[in-house]
């Protein structure tokens, strides 16, 4: 079967961590440690480009930051007072093609532009086809390159105007960082799905980062978040925040709080660990487990919620699941035959803890359901008397175009089964999710509207932003359960 | 200055994890996953040798198991129904010399012996000199090779007798696994400092492993621990446990419970996580922190103790320190200049949690004191109002010849300072250690003697086993504080 | 100092070997072995792209073919009946940037184009600036990308017309191979500086290659060369050769015969080894060495000429210089101190052969003069009585924009010194070059004009093709000796 | 089937190049370049150990010297005024086992010994069994370790006496280099099968090397060869040559002249290139080819002989076979299917030269016959009218225990077929070998006995040295043709 050309050309959902700094004597080192703090946002490739008096120096590679920069010389070469970088999660196909590793560098006769982004431009394919019809040659299917094309087709005299006008043509969720010889630019989509923060070093240098945890790591001060529809210009005169579109609506991606961001980061002023612990507390109230003996969290992202559940319920919090610390990228997995013999890797149960006990197992969320089903089974085999699954987020039922990378709706187990059905599937004694309102209240953003400043699309199927080219395939693949939810039915019993 | 030849030749303190299995169709795969579960016992090199109808196949390499076996073919080549392996922590010098990577393979005209061990033979140098005087050529300074030499100089007719007689000549702490064409042998020193367990697969195959966590991973049943002065023979007829020496005394290395072993392992019937949590509870009683607002543990080894402290004290347990998950082997560290600018890697504080709070920071133990001092400072900089350090073990004051690899007494900070002095050094508001009796009670081994079945040497300087060749350098380097302790003084105020 | 932006953007002199095949069941393997035979044309990077029913598969990497394809799986993955590849010599800067490794792949909504080339587009910068002014974004400074941009700005209906019209806009020397879903295209500049040949496999499949030696290696039949101003279209109907420009002039790059091509290749019907041997014979007549005892060639490219010189002069041909066979890329070179102690790598003299002898040393050409000077000294130190240098080509005095990669005129030693001065510089007893007419006669192309079908620019400074953007820097850097030559002076005495 | 234990334990035929130097400030660098010049003697592993005031530093690895020392730091670390190294050809099994990479380092309480060797100890298995019976543990099956064991079992007071006495126990062919804290030792077997030479640097330092070509490379002066039954001691007082056995007979391995050594080396005063050229001249007289048009040599080792044949016969010498220069280690070989389509790698014919010609193809020797058969076929396919194979050495008919590594007699094609039969097998028009007397005369060693100072075993089956443990398998595997030869028949017609 021939592959779908449209699919090949569609701009990818770029998931990553961005960092950039202007005018610091150790720009390359600061950027290295900034990216290091953001490594959880992307583990498959790394790029770092510095600018030094007329010349750009870069290194791009596949793997973790520590693997790509495996010798100090590799970093020391990237001299200059300005630097920009990205850590990124790529798809398999992409991984074999080094040309997409960001930041992308574009040399022109009159300037150079170094760009990196995350997110998903939902009208990317439409824009691409328009550009190609005018003779444009796109060397990648990266949204970052799209922006460059849009900018280069506008009058060159006013760079900032071209930047703003081009941003306005984009739909979807995104963060951009763009380094040129004369300044560093940042921009956030009109819903501010993902965070982008401005920080300042002790010496006065300004920087951009995807999360505040990067600021702590490099000893920088938090200045402000870049909010929906805003852009920022950083140059030798300082920084200036502007607005490229008025029609905005803050709907932060809740998976940042639930799973993606690091616990020591704050998003829109709310600390991630604290939000998670509160989700756990709230979950204990909404979904108690009166017969339980102890609470266990799935390491590492669910430990905050589990400790919250334990405190609110008065049950002991136990470290009952051990994550193998040195797993690395495992090239060898147990065969089916070995799995049947009981061979496992990755997670182990503290058998003595759970034997003959009624266990609350807290997980942050369920996507495909594979892990939670396996864990429930593992606990049963280890002698647990009862297993009460408690999920510190609402059921994930609709694709999320800027968030979790799920290519087909059918992969999301809660798009296909009711909660009751899931409980049976998992073999658990009870299954309880946090309610949507519980999520909104736990995060507690100071935004008074019905979504509480969160994007609820993955739970409700109501999309706050224009999903443009993506709508067609969404509609074509709705499951019966999704149809029911959209018509207002509840499937949470 | 010329290096000390005696030092070069002294057998190394071999720290590692052992695994071996007899008569299983997937011996190499089982051993791979067994070693994977033991990776925390050694991260610098790996070896795996299989035996298949007359031929031995092996792979040895530096790095984690997943780095050495970086392609499935590398494992698939190691066919056979019997296999033996080790993961290991080597010193830097050793790391450059591949010849010491265990298991060591010795081919003789009449048999082949594949051997691996951990521990430290304290009379190794004396034995070596005796052997050399008789013309022996030792190709390594490994205690495993020593045992082979001793065995080969005994009459060949009775292999088991030669094994027992040779074991009797050794002093110190050790575990051996030895694979030959006709059987698999294991042995434990007369104090059983470190665990060695016998397990059984569903198909009946017997295996040896350093910790019970390896049994869970491979789906094996626990049969028994090999205790002080015992050896085990596994062959096609099953297994048989014998005694090579009568004069034994169980004194398990307490650092196994405190720090070294995996929380899901049981040692002498006591679960490690439960022991740690109990140490935390007991510590809360012995060393309360009445003004504190919350409890934080140093990830990952102190989290059990911290949750115990929190429960016993009624304080909230918070995830206030984040360990970078993807650190890998970092080749690039912040320079002094960057550190002064506040650049940090490895651990981050959840600033919003600790600001203006009185924090109990629980750590499992203090060796050099570098980390705890840095953490105390980091918490202060993050705005903590008070810092109460609570250590879930007694002060480490004497070298431990089979345990923590500290080459000089002077590196152990509690060998040089009283607790009061340490509190000042760390800049904390209070510092409290668990008492020796508290440790004994928390572990709660069912052994009624004054040490409770634990080796207290690192705390008291009283060595249960013959430290032979090591005594001289120990006596020569005693600190004034160590002298005082040995005379019965308390330095715990 | 700021680097010159124009220099950064100028399209590079791409030196490499091309291979492409249409419609063969083992297209990837044939291309692999075809590129293998062309490895001498480029050793720093390799790319191979196959096309299989709607999907393109590729591998690009730095190093030799055997280093990039270091596991059979890497080749086996590149399935399909059509394939295209290149081996290439990159500059250092380029080597760090994987994005320029050819073939380049461009995906469009309506088609995919995979392109590779060698040569130098002398009006590349002008074309680039024109395209950028129209909003084009060029992702590389590769002439191959330029061609794609030119084609995409022409009406899409007639692909072949767009190809021809775009080729007409280019100046300089080049060969292109272009693979699309519907056919394989090749083209040669209007001077046919470099060879491109059409071959046919036993099963009827047509292919393109840079040299006929690739045909021998893969068992293909020679069909024809693609000559000046021609292009070829290969598709399922067979092949068709067309003409895109009428105004052509065959001036083959003579360095192909002198040094670059493999001895078993034929160019324009003339075998390279035979041409070299004839240059050696002719050199013996033009520049005899009556007092000499023996003839030695500089391995490996000068051995044909040396054996010709020996035969024509009646002197014995000796293997007096040994090239280290296993040099590989040497990371360690003798320091100055070691060199003074006589430490050498790469070439050794057979001392017993040359001691007290008068030696003719034949080299194919002299560029910087470093090697020949070192060899003359080495022979002297080894006891040679007399050294007569004989160069089997005329003095290289002017930059060659499609040939030898010499960035500055000043690096060409014969652009700065007369033959007499060079003889003194090298410390030789005599120095003789082949005359330009001798070169023309030795190659003996059946083309009757004053250059004999060769491009004599490097010897005379008269450029047969439009050097466009390159003229300015050429004129600015002329040496006094170059000025004299251009005015008709001879500096060959 | 169970592998033969005796085979596993038999000491390997160690083929390699040795280099060692005493008391030079750049000992490690000199040794590096010395080994570099000897790389043709072994390409699979490298080891280099230096000694610096009490400490030994080493690096051992698989691959070429340039691959193992792939960063300057790796060499710079090996400080000290004394160094020893080896390049080596290992068998496949051996290659996976790093522990055999020489030099081997043995640390004892009273000294350290670093040893490397080449050759084959024919009574190695017997000696091993004797040692094991006395309790010895051998960690390798290296003859170098055997020597260490023998020495350590002799009284330690007189090191030199122990060295001599141990050497006397060995049978077969060998060269040893042994470095200790107090001196550098070398030794050669009683037949001096392989060369070992003593050289001197300009600063007075003495060194040992396998071939004189290493002396040229490092700028050293030739002092003397170490002859049969001799040993040499180098220390701070200079050098001293002694004799460890009186009963000697010089029988140099002729394959050194024919194939193995580098053309610029001299062995026993005879230059290798000159000997080869003389073999070619003599071959032209013994085996003329009156109808031939030209002479071609198989590159690279047969080029000297081919040029000799051409000169003596008056035929033109042509470079008609091209060896791919950049082959590297090829991981991908043409499949049978591709070979049938004519795909070839490694060697190419200059088709234009040989078409319709009668070709003399000169090869240095024939072992398995695979290459020569393939080349004859290739020349035919390229249009050669006649093919006259001329071999510049006598037929190789018996295993050579110190020379060519042929594991089974059956692999030697001339042990199975007469010359007439071989001509038919190869499809050539004539086949002629050099006679044994022709070989003796061409080398022309100034030794007057019937073998001319050469070991003729491979041609005649008469072994000059005691082949000890190897005799049994030799006798068991004699072919009918070998039996006939031994009885005096000629099979050269």
CATH number at residue C114: 3.60.20.10
Question: pLDDT value at position B324?
Answer: 78
Which chain A residues touch B327 with a CB distance below 8 Å?
66
C-alpha distance from C329 to closest chain D C-alpha (Å): 7
Q: Is the pLDDT of residue C195 over 50?
A: yes
pLDDT tens-digit series, residues B375-405: 999 999 999 999 999 999 999 999 887 755 5
Separation of alpha carbons A87 and B8, rounded Å: 44
Distances (CA, A) of A384 to A349, A350, A353, A390, A424: 10, 11, 9, 16, 17
Which chain A residues touch B351 with a CB distance below 8 Å?
216, 264
Q: Is the pLDDT of residue B320 over 60?
A: yes
Mean pLDDT of C304-319: 96
A195 and A293, same domain (yes or no): no
Residue A490 pLDDT class (50, 70, 90 cuts): confident
Residue D335 pLDDT class (50, 70, 90 cuts): confident
Residues in chain A: 493
Among residues A120, A93, A94, the alpha carbon closest in space to that of A399 is found at A120
> Please, which contacts does A332-338 make with residues 24 or more away whose CB atoms are closer than 8 Å?
A332/B29, A332/B32, A332/B66, A332/B69, A332/B72, A332/B75, A334/B29, A334/B33, A335/B29, A337/B26, A338/B26, A338/B29, A338/B30, A338/B33
Mean pLDDT of B23-42: 95
Q: Six-digit token pair at B269?
A: 């019937």
Q: Is A264 within a domain?
A: no
Option in B40, B325, B343 nearest A219 (CB): B343
Question: pLDDT value at position B236?
Answer: 96
pLDDT tens-digit series, residues A250-302: 999 999 999 999 999 999 999 999 999 999 999 999 999 999 999 999 998 89
D283 and D231, same domain (yes or no): no
D235 and D369, same domain (yes or no): no
Q: Is A331 within a domain?
A: no
N-to-C CA span, chain D: 42
CB contact under 8 A, A326 and B66: yes
Question: pLDDT value at position A339?
Answer: 83
Q: What is the mean pLDDT of chain C?
A: 91
Encode chain C in three state secondary structure: CCCCHHHHHCCCCEEEEEEEEECCCCHHHHHHHHHHHCHHHCCCEEEEEEEECCEEEEEEEECCHHHHCCCHHHHHCCCCCEEEEEEEECCHHHHCCHHHCCCEEEECCCCEEEEEEEEEECCHHHHHHHHHHCCCCCCCCCHHHHHHHHHHCCCCCCHHHHHHHHHHCCCEEEEEEEEECCCEEEEECCCCCCCCEEEECCCCCEEEECCHHHHHHHCCEEEEECCCCEEEEEECCEEEEEECCCCCCCCECCHHHHHHCCCCCEECCEEHHHHHHHHHHHHHHHCCCCCCCEEEECCCCCHHHHHHHHHHHCCCEECCEEECCCCCCCCCCCCHHHHHCCCCCCEEECHHHHCCCEEEEEECCCCCCHHHHHHHHHHHHCCCCEEEEEECCCCCCCCCCCCCCCCCHHHCHHHCCCHHHHHHHHCCCEEEECCHHHHHHHHCCCCCCCCCCECCHHHHCCCCCCCHHHHHHHHHCCCHHHHHHHCCCCCCC
Q: Is the pLDDT of residue A1 over 50?
A: no
Which chain C residues touch A148 with a CB distance below 8 Å?
137
H/E run at residue A437: helix A436-443
Question: Are the CB atoms for A33 and A66 separated by under 8 Å?
Answer: no
Give me the residue label for tokens 């396998």.
Answer: D210
Q: Is C466 within a domain?
A: no
Q: Is A65 within a domain?
A: yes
Q: Which domain holds residue A133?
A: 5-248
Q: Is A493 within a domain?
A: no
CB contact under 8 A, D349 and C218: no
Q: Six-digit token pair at D456?
A: 């003729």
B404 and B322, same domain (yes or no): yes
Substitution target from B80, B109, B155 for chain D, most D beta carbons within 10 A: B109
Question: pLDDT value at position C327?
Answer: 56
| B413-422, B476-485, D393-402: range with highest mean pLDDT | B413-422
Q: What is the mean pLDDT of chain D?
A: 91
Substitution target from A331, A333, A355, A379 for chain B, most B beta carbons within 10 A: A331
C-alpha distance from B162 to closest chain D C-alpha (Å): 12
Distances (CA, A) of A150 to A143, A165, A177: 11, 9, 16
Question: pLDDT value at position B123?
Answer: 94
C-alpha distance from A57 to closest chain C C-alpha (Å): 10
How many beta-carbon contacts under 8 Å exist across A and B? 201
Q: Is B263 within a domain?
A: no
Among residues D103, D124, D107, the alpha carbon closest in space to that of D115 is found at D103
Question: pLDDT value at position D296?
Answer: 97
C-alpha distance from C242 to closest chain A C-alpha (Å): 26
B323 and B425, same domain (yes or no): yes
The answer to whether D473 is annotated as binding is: no
Q: D92 phi and psi, to 5 degrees?
A: -60, -50
Q: D340 phi and psi, to 5 degrees?
A: -65, -25
pTM of the entire predicted model: 0.87
Among residues A346, A210, A95, A63, the alpha carbon closest in space to that of B326 is found at A63
Residues in chain C: 493
Question: Are the CB atoms for B210 and B155 separated by under 8 Å?
Answer: no
pLDDT tens-digit series, residues B101-119: 899 999 999 899 999 999 9
C-alpha distance from C195 to closest chain D C-alpha (Å): 18
Beta partners for residue D289, in sequence order: none
CA dihedral A311, A312, A315, A316 (to 10 degrees): -10
Option in D3, D6, D140 nearest B55 (CB): D3
Among residues B27, B56, B168, B186, the alpha carbon closest in space to that of B117 is found at B186
| Contact partners, residue A22, CB within 8 Å, separation at least 6 | A81, A82, A179, A183, A184, A205, A206, A207, A234, A235
CB contact under 8 A, B216 and A348: yes
Q: Where are the alpha helices (DSSP H) in D85-199?
A: 92-95, 124-133, 143-152, 159-168
Distances (CA, A) of B307 to A228, A317, A336, A352: 40, 7, 37, 17
D199 and D302, same domain (yes or no): no
| A5-14, A478-487, D465-474: range with highest mean pLDDT | A478-487
Question: Are the CB atoms for C383 and C401 separated by under 8 Å?
Answer: no
| Contact partners, residue C240, CB within 8 Å, separation at least 6 | C232, C233
Q: B362 phi and psi, to 5 degrees?
A: -100, 125
Separation of alpha carbons B298 and C101, rounded Å: 48
Q: B408 phi and psi, to 5 degrees?
A: -125, 140
D56 and D176, same domain (yes or no): yes
Minimum CA–CA partner of D327 in chain C:
C66
Structurally, chain D folds into a number of domains equal to 2
Minimum CA–CA partner of D348 in chain C:
C217
Which chain A residues touch B88 with a CB distance below 8 Å?
none
Residues in chain B: 493
Q: Is the pLDDT of residue D276 over 50?
A: yes
Substitution target from C63, C67, C220, C263 for chain D, most D beta carbons within 10 A: C263
Q: Is the pLDDT of residue C58 over 80?
A: yes
Residue B1 pLDDT class (50, 70, 90 cuts): very low
A309 and A198, same domain (yes or no): no
- ipTM confidence score: 0.88
Question: Are the CB atoms for A61 and A46 separated by under 8 Å?
Answer: yes
B244 and B278, same domain (yes or no): no
| Contact partners, residue A490, CB within 8 Å, separation at least 6 | none
Q: Is the pLDDT of residue A96 over 60?
A: no
pLDDT tens-digit series, residues B37-93: 999 999 889 999 999 988 999 999 988 898 899 889 999 999 999 999 999 987 655
Which chain B residues touch A316 with a CB distance below 8 Å?
311
Q: Which of D222, D248, D274 is the endpoint of a domain? A: D248
Q: Six-digit token pair at A255?
A: 């998976």
Minimum CA–CA partner of B149 in chain D:
D137
pLDDT tens-digit series, residues C356-388: 999 999 999 999 999 999 999 999 999 999 999
State the binding site of C for Mg(2+): 301, 363-364
Q: Is C172 within a domain?
A: yes
B41 and B176, same domain (yes or no): yes
Q: Is A382 within a domain?
A: yes
D54 and D80, same domain (yes or no): yes
Distances (CA, A) of A241 to A223, A232, A234, C257, D306: 12, 4, 9, 64, 80
pLDDT tens-digit series, residues D7-60: 667 666 788 999 999 999 999 999 999 999 999 999 889 999 999 988 999 999
Q: What is the mean pLDDT of chain A?
A: 91
Residue A488 pLDDT class (50, 70, 90 cuts): confident
Q: What CATH number did the domain enclosing A442 receive? A: 3.40.50.2020
pLDDT tens-digit series, residues C400-420: 877 555 556 778 999 999 999
Separation of alpha carbons A80 and A179, rounded Å: 13
C-alpha distance from D493 to closest chain C C-alpha (Å): 32
State the binding site of C: 301, 363-364
pLDDT tens-digit series, residues C326-339: 655 556 788 888 88
The answer to whether A363 is annotated as binding is: yes
Which chain A residues touch C110 with a CB distance below 8 Å?
132
CB contact under 8 A, B145 and D132: no
Mean pLDDT of B212-217: 94
CB contact under 8 A, D331 and C70: yes
Q: Three-state DSSP class for D31?
A: helix
| Contact partners, residue C117, CB within 8 Å, separation at least 6 | C14, C18, C102, C142, C143, C144, C147, C174, C175, C176, C177
CB contact under 8 A, A135 and C140: no
pLDDT tens-digit series, residues B263-313: 999 999 999 999 999 999 999 999 999 999 999 999 988 999 999 999 999
Question: Are the CB atoms for A343 and B218 separated by under 8 Å?
Answer: yes
The answer to whether B364 is annotated as binding is: yes
Which chain A residues touch C132 with a CB distance below 8 Å?
108-110, 152
How many beta-carbon contacts under 8 Å exist across C and D? 202
Q: Is the pLDDT of residue D1 over 50?
A: no
C73 and C11, same domain (yes or no): yes
Q: Is the pLDDT of residue C1 over 50?
A: no
Question: pLDDT value at position D92?
Answer: 55
Among residues B295, B481, B320, the alpha carbon closest in space to that of B396 is found at B481
pLDDT tens-digit series, residues C142-180: 889 999 999 999 988 899 999 999 999 999 999 999 999
CB contact under 8 A, A218 and B67: no
CB contact under 8 A, D338 and C263: no
Which chain C residues touch D344 with a CB distance below 8 Å?
33, 216-217, 219
Q: What is the mean pLDDT of chain B?
A: 91
Q: Is the pLDDT of residue B96 over 80?
A: no
pLDDT tens-digit series, residues A165-189: 999 999 999 999 999 999 999 999 9
Among residues A63, A69, A98, A96, the alpha carbon closest in space to that of A83 is found at A69
Question: pLDDT value at position C341?
Answer: 81
Which chain B residues touch D134 with a CB distance below 8 Å?
135
Option in A55, A104, A149 nearest C3 (CB): A55
Option in A9, A96, A109 nearest C9 (CB): A109
């Amino acid at each position: 079967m021939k592959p779908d050309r449209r699919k090949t050309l569609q701009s990818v959902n770029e998931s990553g961590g961005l960092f950039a700094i202007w005018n610091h004597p150790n720009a390359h080192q600061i950027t290295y440690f900034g990216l290091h703090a953001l490594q959880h946002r992307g583990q498959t490739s790394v790029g770092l480009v510095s600018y030094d008096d007329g010349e750009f120096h870069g290194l791009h590679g596949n793997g973790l930051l520590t693997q790509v920069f495996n010798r100090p010389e590799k970093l020391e070469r990237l001299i200059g007072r300005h630097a920009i970088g990205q850590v990124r999660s790529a798809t398999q196909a992409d991984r074999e093609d080094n040309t997409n590793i960001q930041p992308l560098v574009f040399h022109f006769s009159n300037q150079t532009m170094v760009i990196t982004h995350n997110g998903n431009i939902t009208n990317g394919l439409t824009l691409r086809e328009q550009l190609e019809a005018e003779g444009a040659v796109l060397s990648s299917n990266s949204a970052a390159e799209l922006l460059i094309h849009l900018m280069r087709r506008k009058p060159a005299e006013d760079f900032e105007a071209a930047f703003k006008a081009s941003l306005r043509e984009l739909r979807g969720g995104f963060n951009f960082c763009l380094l040129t010889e004369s300044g560093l630019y940042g921009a956030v989509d009109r819903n501010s799905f993902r965070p982008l923060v401005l920080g300042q070093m002790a010496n006065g240098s300004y920087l951009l980062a995807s999360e505040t945890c990067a600021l702590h790591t490099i000893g920088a001060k938090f200045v402000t978040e870049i909010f929906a529809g805003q852009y920022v210009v950083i140059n030798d005169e300082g920084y200036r925040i502007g607005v490229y579109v008025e029609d905005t609506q803050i709907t932060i991606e809740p998976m940042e709080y639930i799973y993606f961001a690091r616990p020591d980061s704050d998003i829109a002023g709310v600390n991630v660990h604290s939000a998670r612990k509160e989700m756990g507390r709230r979950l204990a109230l909404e979904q108690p487990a009166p017969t339980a003996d102890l609470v266990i969290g799935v390491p590492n992202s669910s430990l905050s919620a589990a400790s919250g559940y334990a405190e609110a319920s008065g049950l002991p919090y136990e470290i009952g699941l051990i994550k193998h610390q040195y797993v690395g990228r495992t090239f060898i997995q147990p065969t089916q035959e070995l799995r049947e013999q009981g061979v496992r890797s990755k997670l182990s149960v503290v058998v003595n803890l759970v034997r003959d006990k009624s266990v609350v197992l807290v997980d942050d969320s369920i996507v495909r359901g594979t892990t939670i089903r396996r864990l429930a089974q593992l606990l049963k085999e280890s002698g647990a008397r009862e297993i009460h699954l408690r999920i510190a987020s609402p059921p994930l039922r609709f694709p999320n175009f800027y968030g979790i990378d799920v290519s087909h709706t059918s992969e999301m187990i809660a798009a296909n089964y009711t909660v009751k059905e899931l409980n049976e599937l998992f073999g658990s004694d009870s299954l309880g999710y946090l309610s949507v309102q519980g999520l909104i209240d736990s995060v507690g953003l100071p935004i008074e509207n019905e979504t509480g400043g969160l994007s609820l699309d993955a739970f409700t199927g109501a999309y706050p932003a224009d999903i443009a080219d993506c709508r067609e395939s969404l509609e074509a693949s709705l499951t019966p359960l999704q149809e029911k939810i959209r018509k207002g039915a509840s499937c949470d019993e």
